[in-house]
Amino acid sequence: MLIVGAGLAGTATAIRLLRFARRPLEVVLLEKRPDYRSAGVAYHREGNPWDHVFNIQAGRMSLFREDVLDFVRWANLEADRRDWPAQWAEHEFVEQGPAPRRIFQDYLIERLAEARREACPGVVLVEWDGEAVDMDVRPAGVDVTVCRLSASGFGTGPGAEPTLLSALSADHVVLATGLELREPPYAAEVLTHPSFVRNPFSEAGVRKLVTLPSEATVAVVGSVLSAYDSAGLLLRQGHTGRIHLISRTGTMFRTYPAGHEHGVLRLPCPRALLEPYRNREEFVARVRSEWEAACSTVAREHPGVHPSVIAERVAKAWEPYLPEVIERIPSAELRLLLDEFSTAIAAFRVGVVEYTMAVIERAMHPADGPVKLVVGAVERVTPVESSRLVVSVATAERRQSIEADLVVSHFGREWDYSRVGRPLWRNLLRKGIAVPHERTGRGLEVDAQGTLLGPDGEPVGPISAVGVPREGDELVRNGRTGAFAFNLASIKNQSIAVAARVVAELELREDGLAQDLAQFHGGAGDMEDAGRGGFEEAVLLEVRRLATRARRGRELLDSRVDACIRAMGGLPDLPALAKDAFRRDRLMRVVVNRAAVGRLTDVSVTPLQLRRQLGIADEPGTANAEDLRD
């Protein structure tokens, strides 16, 4: 198994593979930037000073959906606080409170180390530094070309040193490559200027912010979540100079109320959105009408929901209906709608913790406060003789120029993979191994399990994706909007499903049953609905096995699942190929596993509700005591 990218998505998938594999398996976790390992751009220490906190509450940052408070418990009971500043070293983390983003890297490192220790014999993890630059699909798997780290760095850029290339053959590849940066066209003249910060989540970017004179003028391009990090960092260190938040839409995110808890409401389908699509203006009017009606319904019928999170509740409740709504929108129109309303959609879907927003709101509300929101589109950033920069902004009323000592760019996530410049994506698209998502222009074409699809719409081979490359598919298939199409919430579920599917397919291949799987799925697909005796018990046991961290507990549950499947006896509705006991039991195990994965990844309930529904024990990382008895 090769996982390309060892950030959040790659680490989460590696942990699930190490847990799920019951036979010898080598998991190679490849990362081109060692400082991004178990972190990625969002959480690595050098790019996240202590004042950068999670946008959402600490209680929603567990890596495991079936153990929602795992991160909070780790932070309070397991984290090594010896090098933490006093503010956090003495802090008791709570479910609804903040937590510094940089400690998430330590959390992921420790959970990966635990998964490695508790893996079955022969299941090993190899951490490799290097960049995947090309792939070829072969009948037996995937050949991957890797650029290894040389003495002078990686040899993939203009004027680079000679490369050190290695060949890797994998039975399956998971692409967990994370966010791709877009080069902002307005900054072409200043990309290397010392007063321009292209990546504020880099060590160099943070250094410029923390060493900036307190009276300096700053222009932050963007007014969404990442922009708040830069503005908040400056304000907390006593910045008194003007901070311009420049936003095309002027959208500001909501602050979560004290004691806020994640919740899921069930609301009726917005039927007006299922009418034929006519034009953008008419459709937006229908959305607005249905949206206002849904928000009024929540306010009236759910008085316990705080007004500031009603929008989030409605956006979540609409997710099951959005795929059918999106089907009616032509692709070109869908792309334009996403471009125009992406920021508003993101703001409806998630809020920000009070720790981050309070300092910004206090600095905005006085007329002479240091933070000013500028609504308009940035047209150009140009240098002037004083080593300052001038930002030209087109507002609704006029064009204005903002002269700043430092310009921080928070525009720049590239979601169109046809424009990504990295060698890997150029090569995969050129060969038809990867195809940009046709409906949305965001991410790649994948099937329901995350397998890459080629130009003909068929799987290209044993290559899966987790995280950002699945953004467009998550939107049109599952109705996931905003960052929820690719953030931790989606990665949790995708890592479970991809790891379980890969392990099952490798085991079937080893048993010589790979060709039987499709036919078997067709014959056994209704088994869960039929409630056949023993099946439900096997599924619940398998759920607990997948959710158990300790190897001994998984092994005991594994034997109980097998015993339950053997006890099912003859299954007349299965195809003839599954009549013999060995084939029947092996393939039944796949169906049980598939049903268990479906239960674990059910987003129609909150993680706490899910845990109660599945009967998972209160004690973390273990199965129920009765499930461990001989």
Q: pLDDT tens across 179-218, in order?
A: 898 888 899 999 999 999 998 999 999 999 999 999 999 9
How buried is 132 (Cβ within 10 angstroms: 0-12 exposed, 13-18 middle, 19+ buried)?
Answer: buried
Q: Which of 105-114, 167-176, 439-448, 584-593 has the weakest average pLDDT?
A: 584-593
pLDDT of residue 90: 94
515 compared with 257, residue with greater pLDDT: 257
Q: Which CATH architecture has domain 2-58+102-178+416-503?
A: 3-Layer(bba) Sandwich (3.50)
> Angle 607-614/535-546 helices, nearest 10 degrees?
130
Distance from CA of residue 620 to its chain's centroid?
Answer: 23
Give 485's pLDDT tier (boundaries 50, 70, 90): confident
pLDDT of residue 519: 56
**Considering only CA atoms, which of 57, 22, 136 is closest in space to residue 432?**
136
Give 121's pLDDT tier (boundaries 50, 70, 90): very high
For 130, the token pair is 């290097």
Half-sphere exposure of 531 (CA within 13 A, CB side): 0
- Identify the bridge partners of residue 26 per DSSP, sorted by sequence position: 124
- CB atoms under 10 Å from CB of 576, counted, come to 8
pLDDT of residue 503: 96
573 compared with 377, residue with greater pLDDT: 377
469 compared with 615, residue with greater pLDDT: 469
pLDDT of residue 344: 85
CB 338 within 8 A of CB 307: no
Strands in 164-170's sheet, in edge-to-edge order, are 164-170, 141-148, 123-138, 25-31, 2-4, 173-175, 459-465, 451-453
**Considering only CA atoms, which of 164, 100, 105 is closest in space to residue 130?**
164
pLDDT of residue 584: 80
**Considering only CA atoms, which of 321, 395, 375, 184 is closest in space to residue 604?**
321
CB 440 within 8 A of CB 335: yes
Residue corresponding to tokens 């699945």: 470
**Which DSSP category does 433 fall into?**
S
φ, ψ of residue 393 to 5 degrees: the values are -125, 130
**Considering only CA atoms, which of 286, 296, 278 is closest in space to residue 333?**
278
Q: How far is it between the farthest Cα atoms of the chain?
A: 84
CB 553 within 8 A of CB 628: yes
**Which DSSP category does 46 fall into?**
G
Helices then strands, counting H and E runs in the chain, come out as 21, 16
For 451, the token pair is 């397998």
Residues sharing a CB contact under 8 Å with residue 288, sequence separation 6 or more, in sequence order: none
pLDDT of residue 580: 75
**Considering only CA atoms, which of 524, 331, 527, 544 is closest in space to residue 442?**
331
Query: Residues, the chain, total?
Result: 630
CB 338 within 8 A of CB 440: yes
Q: What one-character-per-residue DSSP string does 453-484 give?
A: E-TTSSEEEEEEE-SGGGHHHHHHHH---GGG
Average pLDDT over residues 463-467: 97
Mind listing the pLDDT tens digit for each residue in 413-427? 889 999 998 999 999
Sign of CA dihedral 554, 606, 488, 304: negative
Name the strand (E) or helix (H) holding 134: strand 123-138
317 compared with 531, residue with greater pLDDT: 317
For 385, the token pair is 């003789």
- Is the pLDDT at 609 greater than 60, yes or no? yes
What is d(CA 270, CA 286) in angstroms, rounded to the nearest whole number?
9
What is d(CA 471, CA 443) in angstroms, rounded to the nearest whole number?
5
Mind listing the pLDDT tens digit for each residue in 232-245? 999 999 999 999 99
pLDDT of residue 446: 97
Share of the chain above pLDDT 90, in %: 68
Mind listing the pLDDT tens digit for each residue in 346-400? 888 888 889 988 999 999 987 788 999 999 999 999 999 888 999 999 987 889 9
CATH, range 185-253+352-409: 3.50.50.60
What is d(CA 155, CA 132) in angstroms, rounded to the nearest whole number?
12
- Is the pLDDT at 295 greater than 80, yes or no? yes
**Which DSSP category does 163 fall into?**
P
SS3 call for 444: strand
**Considering only CA atoms, which of 15, 220, 186, 25 is closest in space to residue 113?**
15
- Is the pLDDT at 570 greater than 60, yes or no? no
Share of the chain above pLDDT 70, in %: 90
- Is the pLDDT at 622 greater than 70, yes or no? no
pLDDT of residue 544: 94
Residues sharing a CB contact under 8 Å with residue 67, sequence separation 6 or more, in sequence order: 547, 611, 616, 620, 621
What is d(CA 259, CA 95) in angstroms, rounded to the nearest whole number?
9
Give 532's pLDDT tier (boundaries 50, 70, 90): low
For 226, the token pair is 């990442």
Give 575's pLDDT tier (boundaries 50, 70, 90): low
Q: Which of 98-102, 147-151, 423-427 has the weakest average pLDDT?
A: 147-151
583 compared with 625, residue with greater pLDDT: 583
- CB atoms under 10 Å from CB of 421, counted, come to 12
Mind listing the pLDDT tens digit for each residue in 238-277? 999 999 999 888 888 888 888 888 888 999 999 999 999 9
SS3 call for 281: helix
**Considering only CA atoms, which of 528, 590, 583 is closest in space to residue 561?**
590
Average pLDDT over residues 574-597: 78
What is d(CA 136, CA 308) in angstroms, rounded to the nearest whole number?
50
What is d(CA 594, CA 55) in angstroms, rounded to the nearest whole number?
33
Name the strand (E) or helix (H) holding 197: strand 196-197
CB 530 within 8 A of CB 595: no
- Is the pLDDT at 156 greater than 70, yes or no? no
Average per-residue pLDDT for the chain = 88
- Is the pLDDT at 45 greater than 60, yes or no? yes
pLDDT of residue 93: 96
**Considering only CA atoms, which of 216, 225, 220 is closest in space to residue 247?**
220
- Is the pLDDT at 627 greater than 60, yes or no? no
418 compared with 571, residue with greater pLDDT: 418
Query: Which residue intervals of the chain bear CATH 3.50.50.60?
Result: 2-58+102-178+416-503, 185-253+352-409
pTM (two decimals): 0.92
Residues sharing a CB contact under 8 Å with residue 230, sequence separation 6 or more, in sequence order: 200, 209, 218, 220, 408, 410
Give 154's pLDDT tier (boundaries 50, 70, 90): very low
What is d(CA 434, CA 431) in angstroms, rounded to the nearest whole number?
8
